[in-house]
Amino acid sequence: MKPELEKVHAVFLTETEEQLVTLERDLLTLESCPGPESLRAAFRTVHTLKGGAAVMGLTEAVELAHTLEELLTRLEAGVLVLHSGLGTLLLQAVDAMRELVGLRPVAEPDLRLPAKDVHSLLASTVEAARPLASSAARGCAERLGAESHTETPHRERTLRVGLDRLDRMLDLTGEISIARGRLTSMLSQAHRYSPQQLLEAHREADRLYLDLQELVMKVRMVPIGRTFQTFTRTVRDLCQTTGKLVRLEMSGEDVEVDTTVTELIRDPLTHLVRNAMDHGMEPPEVRQACGKDPTGTLFMRAFHEAGSIVIQVGEDGPGLDRERILERARERGLLGPDEGRPDAELFQFIFEPGFSTAQRVTELSGRGVGMDIVKRNVEMLRGTISLETTPGKGTTFFLRLPLTLSIIEGFSVGVGEETYVIPLEHVVECVELPQLERNPGRTGVFNLRGEPLPYLRLREHLSLGGEPPSRESIVVIGQGRGRAGIAVDTLLGQGQTVIKPLGKPCQGLPGLAGSTLMGDGRVALILDVPVLLQQVLKAASSAAAA
């Protein structure tokens, strides 16, 4: 495909995905609240999709859209009645359309049909419907068709950036240009200005730069509601599969987060929702027997808290089975035969690899199956996951995530001539390495206020060579309950760090998460704290066992 056509194709896919999300939402609305408005909205979207597919020469997609239009026309005329099975078929047509245009279907894999089969079922349904009276059919089709051309569909603009933000960015760029010119002019005639005047001019330019940086960050922010909306379909499909009655409640959809976070958080959320539907929610008859509403509630909430976004995924099911988790932990040797743990620590075992309490593992997964993957994916986003559970009342998972992945607060340290950055959120404290630990070696353990603290020498871990200084410092890092130290030469302090990807020679090296440019133009590497922490604790455990 030529580069020009690739660009056109990319734009087509972006717009088509948005239209298919809109169509899916319209069809779900049509199913829950049948009415002419939602039906016409769905028709207009299908009509637009058909036009776009025709332009790109996607014949099969055009034919599918045409059949879908005919089906919607018969629904409009009252020849067909929308029932659960037909609703499922319409949603499968959305997945089939995604498949035909080259997008990934979002339906549950076990509910997905090949696009050809879906098209055949749609066509059969249209043919089986009582033929429309010619005049009524024409009138209906003409009315819907005319509306699709004459009315402006109410649809969110496809601009990724609000024009007001773009205008402000342009203004700031101009103001920065003026400030730079003024500063350059003052520096060229520095003898005419005092150091204080030069410093003030620099601070003014710096303030404008920080305003621009903040605005660029906001440009990347999108509402989390777009991610939440996709689970309406997931819950609906899983209710059909499991026979459970579940009401999905969402709140905080306007909370904004970095667009990268919304893309990467989708899989962990999908797993949590599927898990809650399968093992976190009782069947209607069981709920009734327990005195509960036969229709359960699954909720997704988002809100800001202390510079982070918190996402809650919870249900009002039976809650985690404490005794079963305790028994399973003992079976796997995670606890001794008579050893106990507080609830908060015990429930953390469900995030251990392969830790499942489910009596049966279904296609939707059991509680505990894959939770380690969820935790790992959340931690890759520099986030944390925790849970609260109450017997008989349900379980809620809390995902705390950074608002952006492109800038972090970092703590800089020096080893030899090199500078490294540790994400500040993992820095617990800094202490001096005791004199008794000044022996060469990659790892070690020392007494920190009565507690053993394993540590790792960064110089030897990264094979930097050279002699360490007479006084080394320890940066105590932590994640969850884990604590360890990193021995470095110097502590340089904290500041904002713009994350850049690693160059090819450094990609895949354990312990490195990225790079950044420092103020003097040199490159500093950003440390991957979870990996380093795991290595230190593993080395300490091996040494203790030896």
pLDDT of residue 363: 46
Q: What was the pLDDT predicted at 151? A: 43
What pLDDT shows up at residue 372?
82
Q: What is the mean pLDDT of the chain?
A: 81
Q: What is the pTM of this model?
A: 0.63
Name which of 90-104, 147-161, 295-309 the model is least confident about: 147-161
Handedness of CA 237, 239, 240, 245 (dihedral sign): negative
**What's the pLDDT at 444?**
85
Q: Give the per-residue pLDDT at 356.
A: 66
pLDDT of residue 146: 46
- Phi first, then psi: what are they for 257, rounded to 5°? -150, 160
d(CA 451, CA 436): 16
Model pLDDT for residues 192-240, shown as the tens digit of each residue: 888 898 898 888 888 888 888 878 877 778 888 888 888 888 888 888 8
Q: Please give the pLDDT value at position 107.
A: 64
Average pLDDT over residues 350-372: 62
Q: Which position has the higher pLDDT, 403 or 361?
A: 403
**Residue written as tokens 């629904």?**
75
Residue 151 DSSP SS3: coil
Structure confidence at residue 399 (pLDDT): 92
Residue 545 pLDDT grade (very low, low, confident, very high; cuts 50, 70, 90): low
> Is the pLDDT reported for residue 21 higher than 80?
yes
**Cα dihedral across residues 116, 122, 123, 124: positive or negative:** positive
Secondary structure in 3-state letters for 448-516: ECCEEEEEEEHHHHCCCCCCCCCCCEEEEEEECCEEEEEEECEEEEEEEEECECCCHHHCCCCCEEEEE
What confidence tens digit (pLDDT) does each residue in 228-280 have? 888 888 888 888 888 899 999 999 988 888 887 887 888 889 889 988 888 88
pLDDT of residue 321: 87
The predicted structure's pLDDT at residue 368: 45
Quick one: pLDDT band at residue 43, thresholds 50, 70, 90? confident
Q: What percent of the chain has pLDDT over 90?
A: 14
What's the mean pLDDT in 50-73?
86
**Helix pair 115-128, 59-77: axis angle to 10 deg:** 30
Q: How far apart are CA 453 and CA 468, in angstroms?
A: 20
pLDDT at residue 357 in the model: 61
Mean of the pLDDT values across residues 290-303? Answer: 93
Q: Give the tens place of pLDDT for each residue, 135-179.
A: 444 444 444 444 444 443 344 444 466 677 788 888 888 888 888
Q: What is the pLDDT of residues 487-525, one digit of tens each?
A: 999 999 888 777 777 776 776 677 787 888 877 778 888
The more confident residue out of 51 and 421 is: 421
Joined tokens for residue 168: 């402000």
> In this predicted model, which residue has the larger pLDDT, 11 or 63?
63
pLDDT grade for 294, boundaries at 50, 70 and 90:
very high
> What per-residue confidence (pLDDT) applies to 72?
87
